[in-house]
Amino acid sequence: MDVSDLRIALFSGNYNMTVDGANKALNRLVGYLLAQGAAVRVYSPTVADPDFAPTGDLVSVPSMAIPGRPEYRIPLSLSRRVQEDMAQFAPNILHISSPDRVSRQAAAWARSRHMPVACSVHTRFETYFRYYNLSFLEPLVVAWLRRLYRRCDALIAPSESFAQVLREQRMNYDIGIWTRGVERDVFHPGRRDASWRQSWGIADGEPVIAFLGRLVMEKGLDVFADTIDVLQRRGVPHRVVVIGEGPAGEWFESRLPQAKFVGFQGGENLARALASCDMLFNPSVTETFGNVTLEAMACGLPVVAARATGSASIVKHGVTGYLVPPGSISNFADDLELYCRDPGLRTAHGAAALAESATYQWDAINQSVADTYLRLIRQKQRRG
């Protein structure tokens, strides 16, 4: 059996509605699998005007808008229509990528047919509640996730640091690694554009700290803003560029009145904006890999990040950037100040970051997922 024999039913909570690192990776995986001759059918909520066209065949599942976050939809049920479509497609493996009700129902459907179930874990859902004064729910969410993840034949994590967290939480003990690659033809230091900086009122010699990501509180916006306050009190020369948009954008702008908010950027425009900055500051602790970190490194930027899942597997402390205890405002400020005041250090760590990013190759990365599928199918066949 090889990749061309695979028939994968993939369930996603957001395959192409709103662009994010997880669904970009899923679409790239599907593209790779199709190119290798596999058959893939994707099941996900859909909207009339998605952020981008889906890769592969997409079947809409019943869903409803999330209150307060209308850009996302909650899958509601594995309807008879969807089940009939699945039966007609006749998959030999199920891949779920979000711990929602429909994914749970799909996993039960697969188990009843002695079909292996793989689950890719893309975010630390349990940590989100910390940012909405609901941290008391975290143990309940962990237990709820464990019930699903233990019923899967294997989990697939985007970084070894996150895989270790999953092991410590006793989610599953068969955990593969599906890291992420970077489009090196898009993200590279040659995208740096002095005229772009000037259009935003930034002089060539001014050190620019970048924030890249969706503007939601769980990305560590409060830590970012508090750290910038410290730099300002210290009189550290710097500018701030915020790349992205989201529901917390107005709050973030009020906290960073001197920052340049350039909005959502994609593709070459994103690469130009990122490469035109001088360092990335990523304080988030909810990332499981950190696509933005890798994209910044590919543009030749050093990274100051929280020592948390994702970044801890990508950033080499003191070589390609600095890893800081989560939430440690003064330590974040110390390391950013080093880069702001020492362009030579910035350049050296940026060059090392660029070299490190070259080791993340998409085809080999996606083949590792296909290998996991094949292994699980063979194991299921041997066990009968």
Which three-class secondary structure state does DSSP give residue 219?
helix
Q: Are both 134 and 276 inside the same structural domain?
A: no
**For the chain, percent helix, then strand, then coil, each to nearest 5?**
45, 20, 35
Displacement of CA 285 from its chain's centroid (Å): 12
The values of phi and psi at residue 248, to 5°, are -95, 10
**pLDDT score at 332:** 98
Residue 260: per-residue pLDDT:
98
User: Are both 12 and 158 inside the same structural domain?
Assistant: yes
Are residue 69 and residue 11 in the same domain, yes or no? yes
Residue 271 lies in domain: 189-357
Beta 69-75 vs 63-66: how paired, if at all?
A: antiparallel
pLDDT given at position 127:
65
Judge if 209 and 153 occupy the same domain. no
The answer on 378 and 314 residing in a single domain is no
pLDDT of residue 178: 92
**DSSP secondary structure string for all residues of 184-205:** TTTSSGGG--HHHHHHTT--TT
Q: What does the alpha-carbon distance between residue 39 and residue 142 come to, in Å, rounded to a whole number?
A: 33
How far from 85 is each of 8, 22, 68, 78, 81, CA to CA, in Å? 13, 25, 32, 11, 6
pTM given for the model: 0.79
Q: How far apart are CA 287 and CA 346, in angstroms?
A: 24
At residue 218, the pLDDT reads 86
Do 168 and 213 belong to one domain?
A: no
Dump strand ranges (E) for 223-276. Answer: 239-243, 260-263
| 64 and 212 together in one domain | no
For residue 88, count CB atoms less than 10 angstroms from its CB and return exposed for 0-12, middle for 13-18, buried for 19 or more.
Answer: exposed
From CA 59, how far away is CA 37, in angstroms rounded? 20
Cα dihedral sign, 230-233-234-239:
positive
204 and 111 housed in the same domain: no
- Successive 10-residue mean pLDDT values, the chain, 384 residues: 96 88 91 98 91 93 81 85 97 94 94 95 72 75 88 92 89 92 94 97 96 93 98 98 95 98 94 98 84 94 91 92 96 98 98 95 93 95 79
How confident is the model at residue 131, as a pLDDT?
66
Number of domains in the chain: 2
For 59-104, the DSSP string reads EE--EEEETTEEEEEEE----HHHHHHHHHH--SEEEE-S-SHHHH
> Does 221 lie in the same domain as 324?
yes
Strands (E) in the chain, as ranges, are 7-11, 39-44, 57-60, 63-66, 69-75, 93-96, 117-120, 154-157, 175-177, 208-212, 239-243, 260-263, 279-282, 303-306, 321-324
Q: Do 268 and 159 fall into the same domain?
A: no
Q: Are residue 29 and residue 150 in the same domain, yes or no?
A: yes
Please tell me the predicted confidence (pLDDT) of residue 129. Answer: 63
CATH assignment of the domain containing 34: 3.40.50.2000
pLDDT for 136 equals 76
Same domain, 166 and 81: yes
Q: What is the DSSP letter of 135?
A: G
